[in-house]
Amino acid sequence: MLIRGAEIHGRGLADLRVEGDVISAIGALTPRPGEPVIEAKGGILLPGLHDHHIHLAALAVRAASIDCGPPAVRDRDDLARALTQPGSGWLRGFGFCESVLEGTLPDASVLDTMVQHRPARLQHRTGRMWLLNSAALDELLAENTTPPGLERDGDRFTGRLFDEDAWLQQALAGTPPDFSQASADLARCGVTGLTDMSPRNDAVMAHHFAQQAECGHLAQHAVIAGRLSLVDAPQHGWRLGPAKLHLHEAALPDFDATCAWIAEAHAQKRGVAVHCVTEVELVFTLALFEVVGAQHGDRIEHASIVSPELAARMAALGLWACVQPHFIHERGERYLRDVEAQYQPDLYRLRSLLEAGIVLAGGSDAPYGSPDPWAAMRASVLRGTREGTPFNPDEALTPEQALALYLADPLDLSRQRRIAVGEVADLCLLDRPWREVRERLESADVRATLVSGKLVHQRIDESPVQRLARREAAA
């Protein structure tokens, strides 16, 4: 395939040939007889974007679930309406937030007033808690042992289930979901690779990834982080990512045992990715690495609250950070309201982390954030809430810095992938030059996406009238 007349990232205007799964030539090239040609018309051609932190199975499941939080659901009546669905069997809700019920977390009896005759489970917005109605409790407890994370009030269960996803999955006897829709949505945004950061990823999930790739339901290259027990199997079409440590500030693990766990990961030549959304979690993590020693590949996920002092310690250890710049846009109003004033300046820093010498990469954390990397790039540059309130605007990135978050090599975030002869043809073609793209950062501008030389997305081009309408809507 020949991509003709593209603005090649890092090079300028040229033609590019793809043969098999690699880039075979760049320059002034003539089409060969019968060779498919894409006329780029000066559009920017980028290395394919990589989402460095996603939960693909959860994203796929969400596509078949009910949105139970703002802005779709704002109060009790909205929630009752959303949960009134035809059919029988389990209802699965996501995104629930206390603000829907005037700041309260419902127990099973409250949910029963909305869904009585079928089991319902609502996932809290944080992803850390499920809210069950009585029918759900009955069904789950009929055949299974009671997990420690199921809250009790005296001798009855409230229906609130904390951090028991593995138990829930087993109790529901669920098979992992089909990835087709989620994968196609990512391809539409120019995403050619992803790192799945689910802490419980094990051999079963890795096998599912391999199967989904095999039957064409997963177009992207996958890096799978997860348990220490997960071992590399390069022949199966996915690559092993870091070992994932999921900290909970309220129940931090034993310090010495965790040091030993990190040392074991390092002995396997595996980096460690630690979930840190609070200052306490970050302080704990830095202390761990200061004792065990950090190695190339160790990273902090989210880095939600980082004071300048802690940033200096992260930099001294050489830790990378995987950030979610779109959270400022999506959740900024709530952060401004709920996060203690002393922590506000330290929330989701970007520019000052780069200036401290910390390598950054971007991940959507989808389904807990939007899977669209362009929305995240836009949020990095604009640094405002959904309603337009500026949010630590000094932390803004340039569009080029924002793009770089998604061009990092997934196994070595300190290295930027680039377009060059001999590289795998993972490419993202936009419909206009970078000087225009950088002002918009819109996923709708992605025209074509190639993974290993294969076209996995090609935009159906609009009529001039439709294009005008889209431009006007964006303006």
Q: What is the DSSP letter of 339?
A: S
Q: What would you report as the CA-atom Rg of the chain, rounded to the nearest whole angstrom?
A: 23
Instruction: Give, as ranges, the residues between 294 and 313 that touch Zn ion (CB under 5 A).
Output: none
Contact criterion met (CB below 8 Å) for 433 and 340: no
CB of residue 199 to Zn ion, shortest distance in Å: 8
Measured distance CA(36)–CA(38) in Å, rounded: 7
Measured distance CA(461)–CA(444) in Å, rounded: 11
CB-wise, 286 or 366, nearer to Zn ion? 366
| Residue 455 tokens, joined | 């076209």
Closest residue to Zn ion: CB criterion:
365
| Residue 175 tokens, joined | 């098979």
Q: Which stretch binds Zn ion (CB under 5 A): 129-137, 363-371, 409-417, 440-448?
A: 363-371
CB-wise, 52 or 349, nearer to Zn ion? 52
CB of residue 46 to Zn ion, shortest distance in Å: 25
CB of residue 227 to Zn ion, shortest distance in Å: 15
253 CB neighbour count, 10 Å cutoff: 14
Distance from CA of residue 306 to its chain's centroid?
Answer: 20
Site string for Zn ion, 323-362 (x = CB under 5 A): ----------------------------------------
CB-wise, 6 or 323, nearer to Zn ion? 323
Helix (H, G, I), strand (E, B) or coil at 5: strand
Beta 129-132 vs 156-162: how paired, if at all?
antiparallel
CB-wise, 206 or 273, nearer to Zn ion? 273
Residue with token string 């932390």 = 395
CB of residue 269 to Zn ion, shortest distance in Å: 24
Considering only residues 15, 346, 365, 431, which one is a binding residue for Zn ion as defined by CB under 5 A? 365
Residue 367: asked if its preceding bond is cis (omega within 30°), the reply is yes
CB-wise, 281 or 365, nearer to Zn ion? 365
Long-range contacts of 206-215 (CB under 8 A, 24+ apart): 206/230, 206/233, 206/236, 206/238, 207/236, 208/57, 208/176, 209/56, 209/237, 209/238, 210/236, 210/237, 210/238, 212/178, 212/179, 212/183, 213/237, 213/238
CB of residue 362 to Zn ion, shortest distance in Å: 13
CB-wise, 365 or 372, nearer to Zn ion? 365
CB-wise, 4 or 128, nearer to Zn ion? 128
Q: Which stretch binds Zn ion (CB under 5 A): 98-106, 181-189, 364-372, 375-383?
A: 364-372
CB of residue 246 to Zn ion, shortest distance in Å: 8
Measured distance CA(186)–CA(193) in Å, rounded: 9
CB-wise, 123 or 449, nearer to Zn ion? 123
CB of residue 459 to Zn ion, shortest distance in Å: 29
Q: Which stretch binds Zn ion (CB under 5 A): 56-64, 204-212, 365-373, 431-439?
A: 365-373
How many Cα atoms sit within 13 Å of 30 on the Cβ side?
2
CB of residue 376 to Zn ion, shortest distance in Å: 14
Per rule CB under 5 A, is residue 372 in the interface with Zn ion?
no
CB of residue 276 to Zn ion, shortest distance in Å: 11
Total residues in contact with Zn ion, by rule CB under 5 A: 1
Per CB under 5 A, residues contacting Zn ion are: 365
